[in-house]
Amino acid sequence: MSQSRAAIILAAGQGTRMKSRTVKVLHHVGGRAMLDWTVDLARQCGADTVVTVYGAHSPAVKTAAEGLGTQTALQDPPLGTGHAVLAAREALAGQTGQAIILYADTPLITADTVARVFAALDEGASVAVLGFEPDDPAAYGRLILAPDGTLDRIVEFKDADEEERAVRLVNSGVLAAPAPLLLDLLGRVGNDNANGEYYLTDVVGLARAQGLTARVVTASAEEVLGVNSRADLAEAEAAFQARKRQAMMAGGVTLVAPETVFFAHDTEIAADVVIEPHVVFGSGVRIESDAVIRAFSRLEGVTVGAGAEVGPHAALQPGADVPPGGKTGKDVNT
């Protein structure tokens, strides 16, 4: 990577469908707030400037974002995604490199996918958009391609005609462009649409009108899942767990009944560990090689040494480390 990068994380949504006193983006997936996932993603993709855009209704997001070391920008009132990005304009002043828009309620996007978005810019696109093909395109914005396969425009569902709504390739919301170009295009976005909002997506049409190229990078529908409800949160958790289980087994861990084992985002397990059914890992657990975790155990904040045996029915709390070759008894609450 030869140039600077900035990430603007949009976290100003109301999240009313969560039916919660906790702000949506502070709900957890894999024992970690969704905002934390996105900030970490921004850093993994090389962003040296990270700005979190929050709403007036959610000072907790400002506090959490600043606690994670990001800058913050207030969007008030909420007038659409384009308006939200412009709220970060001051923090982006002087940025000459690339910028990417990420979302604090989309915790499953990988650094490899973001790298492909940036690669599209490196290969000559002026704007790169992350798209996907869901089973049901529903009310997503449609990605309309030009005959040469480049991206011609993004049409919001409410503004789409019947032919455009038949398109299955849809917009995830993730978009990247050189920072000066992004801010210039956003400054020219209007709100003449069904919602009266300033759409980030309009920058594609504006770029094309200048003779610039826009391209689509695709990801799986699961990876770009946005969390807007408790059902979505459960779906994201299930996807995270499935991904983590596969990674553990690929790394040499035996899961006797994979679907019954639950991990945290930071669970570390060495090769040749055996995990029996119905085991739950809270945050901060490290298991060294050749250990066995017996059925119906829960561990949090502990290190289990090489060759140790835990459980069954053990509940290990923070600090209750098990030494190499050690053993916890049945039904022990340590």
What is d(CA 19, CA 194) in angstroms, rounded to the nearest whole number?
27
The answer to whether residues 133 and 262 belong to one domain is no
Contact between residue 80 and residue 195 where contact means Cβ atoms under 8 Å apart = yes
The answer to whether residues 173 and 115 belong to one domain is yes
For residue 87, give the nearest of 123, 124, 49, 54 by alpha carbon: 54
Q: How much is the pLDDT for 323?
A: 97
3-state helix, strand, coil in the chain (%, to 5): 30, 25, 45
Q: What is the DSSP string of 33-45?
A: EHHHHHHHHHHHT
The answer to whether residues 205 and 305 belong to one domain is no
In order along its 334 residues, the chain shows pLDDT tens digits of 467 999 999 999 888 999 999 999 999 999 999 999 999 999 999 999 999 999 999 999 999 999 999 999 999 988 989 999 999 999 998 899 999 999 999 999 999 999 999 999 999 999 999 999 999 998 899 999 999 999 999 998 988 999 999 999 999 999 999 999 999 999 999 888 778 889 899 999 999 999 999 999 999 999 999 999 999 999 999 999 999 999 999 999 999 999 999 999 999 999 999 999 999 999 999 999 999 999 999 999 999 999 999 999 999 999 999 999 999 965 444 4
The answer to whether residues 159 and 82 belong to one domain is yes
Tell me the residue type at 225. L
Residue 106: alpha-carbon gap to chain centroid: 4
Q: How much is the pLDDT for 330?
A: 58
Q: How much is the pLDDT for 114?
A: 98
Number of domains in the chain: 2
Q: How much is the pLDDT for 2?
A: 61
The answer to whether residues 184 and 263 belong to one domain is no
CATH of the domain at 87: 3.90.550.10
CATH of the domain at 286: 2.160.10.10
In a domain, 334, yes or no: no
Q: Which domain holds residue 272?
A: 251-316
The answer to whether residues 67 and 207 belong to one domain is yes
pTM of model > 0.85: yes
In a domain, 326, yes or no: no
The answer to whether residues 168 and 267 belong to one domain is no
In a domain, 227, yes or no: no
Q: Of 218, 243, 261, at which residue does a domain stop?
A: 218
